[in-house]
Chains A and B, each alone.
Chain A
Amino acid sequence: MAIKIVKDFKSEHQAELNELSFTLHMIKHSPLTILGVGIVSTLVMLAIFAPYIIPYAEDAYLSIHPERKLMPVSFEHLFGTDDMGRDLFSRSIYGTRISLQVGVVVILVAAIVGVVLGGVSGYFGGVIDEAIMRITDAFLSIPSLILALAVAATLGPGLNNAMAAIAVTWWPWYARLVRGQVLQIKQELYVEAARAMGGGKLYIIFKHIMPNSLAPIVVNASMDVGYAILTAAALSFLGLGAQPPAPEWGLMISTGRKYMPTRWWYTTFPGLMIFVSVLGFNLLGDGLRDLLDPRIRRKGRVKR
């Protein structure tokens, strides 16, 4: 009995299973994608379990240990200690929590705003399209870090304000991307067919246009999480993002700079965390693009 069910399942889903094994095959043959997936999943684990795995849990926020101030790298303190005697390894690991949260929330907000405005713009066209596109033009013609800086400065220092500022500079990219996708998909035969069969506007948008324009959004979003982390760290470094005693990487670099020539570990390790995270999301996005792009998929298949 049981064997029969398995057999049915297998023959019924042969196409999907082939797809899946091909996907796995592609991942297996791309060491950089594996590295990206490895880094990102490690970061996620660290972010979730940070309070339980860091050796000095009380050091994550405010605690003062004058007896172990600015200690160099050792077995007890893998990344050394800072000017308040806090363990920098614990703080760097805990910082993953803050940075991942920042990256994901910022990109989620930017992507949602961008998808809605871009979708409306592309689907309805006309005056609405014109208006939305001119606004994105204006946003995109200001260097993004400077715009984020201006918005963050006017909102006042603080991590939430910095996140809002980054989201403000990021949504136009998604609006553009989604609009292009929608314009292209709108003309596809299957959309025309759905319309001819009496499909309503909402039905077409949600059933046909949205799912088909998802791939590039996902690819971009996974890369952008890294860049959002980078921008947030930059704003914190300038004093506009996270405020002490938060264990935010950019902020740690900014305070560590005061102890620079001799206490090299103070700035080096938090920076390394930023670098590795951005790299991880970048590789993940790169890998996803290759996996989700049907043209590259087909090419890979022929090669095989």
Chain B
Amino acid sequence: MLVLVVLIVVTVTFVLSHVIPGDPARLYAGPHARFEQIEKARTELGLDKPLWEQYAIYWIRLFSGDLGMSIHSRRPVTEDLMDYFPATVELTTVSMTLTVIIGILLGIVSALHKDEAPDHASRLYALTGVAMPVFWLGILAQLFIGYTLGLLPISGRVDAMIELIYPTRRITGLFLVDSLITGNIPAFISALSHIILPTLTLSFATLAVVSRMMRALMLEVLDQDYIRTAKSLGLPDRLVVYKYALRNALIPVVTVIGLAFGYSLGGAFLVETVFDWPGLGRYTTDSIVTLDYPAILGVVILTSMVYVLVNLVVDVLYAYLNPRIRY
């Protein structure tokens, strides 16, 4: 599956980027380059070779972990990705954790109070959550919580002053983790306050989806014969819900998490742009402006690989958790 995904992504984007007019060599050589300089850049980038040869070379390089040179940063794309990826990982991980915990709780509450006030409230939230453009929500959050109330910082990962006085040693690239394990408390607080708004923005829509799915799963389980049996035996409601229903409803939630991760990854690209978060999303926006095909291709390959891997883990976890499935 992974192989097929990469194959299709690479082929589709490669073909598109080389069929469409627009000359990366000219961009690479700069705006005032003379003809010879452009030709030199063309040879340097391998753009003078026949298309199929470029395609083959691309594949050979890909296998050795070489994604080519970025046109706008003039560094290997792999190195760029390694610089930008941790920020995206940090943002999506924190947001996913929040989404899953609150989403499950919200789902249970609205399933238990089906067609009552909490359920209506959560339905209303779900409807608005998925309809809200995530980049607009981010801007509104910046306006009201950042500017008007002045509660939280609105851009970047950490305060510039704090970074100067208490520099964080890079170990994992995740600022929250790095500052915590090196005991750098001021940096940790700064990083934490910077991640709150982007995380909440990113979680808003995903939370709506997860809570609705959890509600549906919970209702399905509550309708099962074994729940009726447990109830008719006179077991207390609390026990029935939390021991028998919740356990069974939680198994398919694993799958929901895999799906939600995809939403988050896509949303992260927009949230990063709004909050000036130095992750893959911002790297991509910069690459778009300069028609930086190697960089864009690199990002797409990396993110789709991560997504497929996460879903693979989800499938394995699902099989492990659910005794009814044994491969």
Contacts from A to B (Cβ < 8 Å)? 32, 134-135, 137-139, 141-147, 149-151, 153-157, 226, 230, 233-234, 237-240, 250, 253, 257, 260-261, 264, 267-268, 271, 274-275, 278-279, 282-283
Contact = CB atoms under 8 A, between A and B. Distances in A.
Nearest to A138: B8
B133 A275 contact: yes
Contact of B133 (A150, A234, A240): A234
B interface, over-half SS: helix
A291 to B, nearest CB: 18
B143 A261 contact: yes
Given A141-B311, A143-B266, A233-B133, A154 B304 contact: no
Nearest to B128: A279
B258 to A, nearest CB: 10
B164 interface: no
Interface in B264-312: 265-267, 269-270, 273-274, 284-285, 287-289, 291, 293, 296-297, 299-300, 303-304, 307-308, 311
A interface, over-half SS: helix
Interface in B108-138: 127-128, 130-136
30 contacts: A137-B1, A137-B4, A141-B1, A141-B308, A142-B9, A143-B263, A143-B266, A149-B284, A149-B288, A150-B9, A153-B284, A154-B13, A154-B17, A154-B20, A234-B133, A250-B133, A253-B139, A260-B139, A260-B147, A261-B143, A261-B147, A267-B136, A267-B139, A271-B139, A274-B136, A275-B133, A278-B131, A279-B127, A279-B131, A283-B127
Interface string B1-28: 1001101110011001100111000000
Interface residues of B, number: 52
B131 A275 contact: yes
In the A-B complex, the 10 residue pairs with the smallest Cβ-Cβ separation, listed nearest first, are: A145-B266, A271-B136, A278-B131, A279-B131, A154-B16, A142-B304, A154-B17, A143-B262, A150-B300, A138-B8
A260 B147 CA distance: 10
A43 to B, nearest CB: 13
Most chain A C-beta atoms within 10 Å of own C-beta, residue among B130, B274, B288, B291 = B288
B273 A238 contact: yes
B269 A149 contact: yes
A135 B8 CA distance: 8
B33 interface: no
Interface of B: 1, 4-5, 7-9, 12-13, 16-17, 20-22, 127-128, 130-136, 139-140, 142-143, 147, 262-263, 265-267, 269-270, 273-274, 284-285, 287-289, 291, 293, 296-297, 299-300, 303-304, 307-308, 311
B288 A153 contact: yes
Contacts of A156: 20-22, 291
A238 B287 CA distance: 11
Contact of B142 (A149, A260, A271, A282): A260
B4 A238 contact: no
